[in-house]
């Protein structure tokens, strides 16, 4: 009972922080719903539970989070219709990042169509070896449309990202989840840190809970965040929950509290950037 009371107190403090100071924006969540109007992709391994925007809105309210970027979940693969319906239902609260088929030569045109519908960027998730094409034409189209390229890829692919950025240094690129650098291979993080020289590269520090081999507050993974903070600065780092995926290991609340309350090397200005202002550099929400 004492733990529940403490959690409620901290959640209330989070809401007060958001209203009294800076708003908090979560730049990485997923939604899905078992609904015949929006069929899942063939062969998709979909959890029995739904992850609806209504559930998400309840968590946001409880934790003082005002806006959210929804990333197209892999369960629908390249059919973005369900996410499009959510964005239409809740304008101003959510922005959406789509997926397009990386093997389809028409993918850049599909991105243009989705951007015209209101999507604000695309996510790619190439495989860990060089056979996973990073699709230079799609990157070029992102540049022309002035929308961010969001990359979910292992740490081994970061040099390949650098090669493309040499040709397109002005493109905004967001690296998801610290490139999921294994906690027992700390030297590999330098492959992500090497992208610091490109001023429009941003990093989500969103998987401390996933890569850590320790209990909350995942101090071993916090060491990676500290190194990224020293390299990129808070203006290019952003927190994120990765809800509802985080619920396999932890909670929405802890995804926020680990950054806001447990990363003691961050000062108040760092937190203003990493909880909100950095996200707003990449995704502009309505006022």
Residue 18's pLDDT band (cuts 50, 70, 90)? very low
pLDDT at 281 exceeding the cut of 90:
yes
Orientation angle between helical segments 252-260 and 53-63, nearest 10 degrees: 30
Give the residue-averaged pLDDT of 142-150: 97
Among candidates 164, 134, 165, 163, which has minimal Cα distance to 151? Answer: 134
d(CA 227, CA 225): 5
d(CA 213, CA 108): 39
For 154, 183, 194, the CA distances from 226, given in Å and listed in that order, are: 19, 13, 15
Give the residue-averaged pLDDT of 265-273: 98
Structure tokens of 65?
Answer: 């989070």
d(CA 95, CA 86): 10
Among candidates 61, 148, 135, 147, which has minimal Cα distance to 105? Answer: 135
Give the residue-averaged pLDDT of 254-278: 98
Question: Residue 11: what pLDDT?
Answer: 54
Orientation angle between helical segments 158-167 and 136-145, nearest 10 degrees: 50
d(CA 16, CA 226): 27
In order of their start, the domains of the chain are 23-282 (3.20.20.140)
Sorted by sequence, the CB contacts under 8 Å of residue 153 that are 6+ apart come out as 124, 125, 126, 128, 132, 161, 175, 176, 179
Please, are residues 72 and 99 in contact by the beta-carbon 8 Å criterion?
yes
Residue 41's pLDDT band (cuts 50, 70, 90)? very high
- 133 half-sphere exposure, CB direction, 13 A CA radius: 11
d(CA 204, CA 210): 13
- Residue 96, classed as helix, strand or coil, is strand
Question: Residue 128: what pLDDT?
Answer: 57
- Please state whether beta strands 201-204 and 237-238 pair in parallel, antiparallel, or not at all (unpaired): parallel
Question: Residue 16: what pLDDT?
Answer: 43
Residue 103 or 29, more confident: 29
Give the residue-averaged pLDDT of 81-90: 98
Write b or e for each residue in 71-88: b if 16 or more Cβ atoms lie within 10 A of its Cβ, otherwise e. bbbbbbbbbbebbbebbe
Give the residue-averaged pLDDT of 85-102: 96
pLDDT single digits (tens) 162-203? 999 999 989 999 999 999 999 999 999 999 999 999 999 999
pLDDT single digits (tens) 58-81? 999 999 999 999 999 999 999 999
Question: Residue 7: what pLDDT?
Answer: 53
């Amino acid at each position: 009972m004492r733990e529940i009371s403490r959690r409620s107190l901290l959640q209330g403090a989070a809401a007060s922080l958001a209203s009294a100071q800076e708003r908090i924006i979560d730049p990485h969540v997923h939604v899905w719903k078992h609904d015949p109007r929006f069929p899942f992709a063939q062969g998709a391994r979909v959890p029995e539970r739904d992850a609806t925007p209504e559930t998400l809105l309840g968590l946001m309210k409880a934790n003082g989070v005002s806006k959210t970027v929804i990333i197209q979940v892999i369960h629908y693969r390249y059919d973005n219709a369900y996410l499009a319906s959510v964005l239409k239902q809740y304008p101003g609260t959510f922005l959406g990042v789509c997926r397009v088929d990386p093997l389809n030569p028409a993918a850049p045109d599909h991105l243009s169509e989705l951007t015209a519908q209101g999507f604000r960027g695309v996510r790619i998730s190439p495989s860990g070896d060089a056979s996973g094409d990073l699709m230079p034409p799609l990157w070029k189209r992102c540049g022309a449309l002035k929308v961010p390229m969001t990359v979910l890829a292992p740490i081994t692919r970061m040099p390949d990202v650098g090669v493309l950025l040499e040709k397109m240094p002005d493109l905004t690129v967001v690296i998801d989840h610290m490139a999921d650098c294994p906690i027992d291979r700390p030297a590999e993080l330098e492959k992500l840190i090497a992208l610091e020289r490109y001023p429009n590269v941003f990093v989500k520090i969103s998987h401390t809970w996933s890569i850590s081999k320790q209990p909350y507050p995942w101090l071993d993974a916090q060491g990676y965040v500290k190194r990224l903070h020293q390299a990129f600065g808070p203006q290019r780092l952003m927190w994120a929950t990765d809800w509802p995926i985080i619920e396999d290991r932890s909670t929405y609340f802890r995804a926020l509290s680990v950054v806001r309350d447990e990363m003691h090397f961050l000062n108040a200005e760092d937190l203003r950037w990493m909880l909100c202002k950095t996200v707003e550099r990449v995704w502009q929400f309505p006022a």
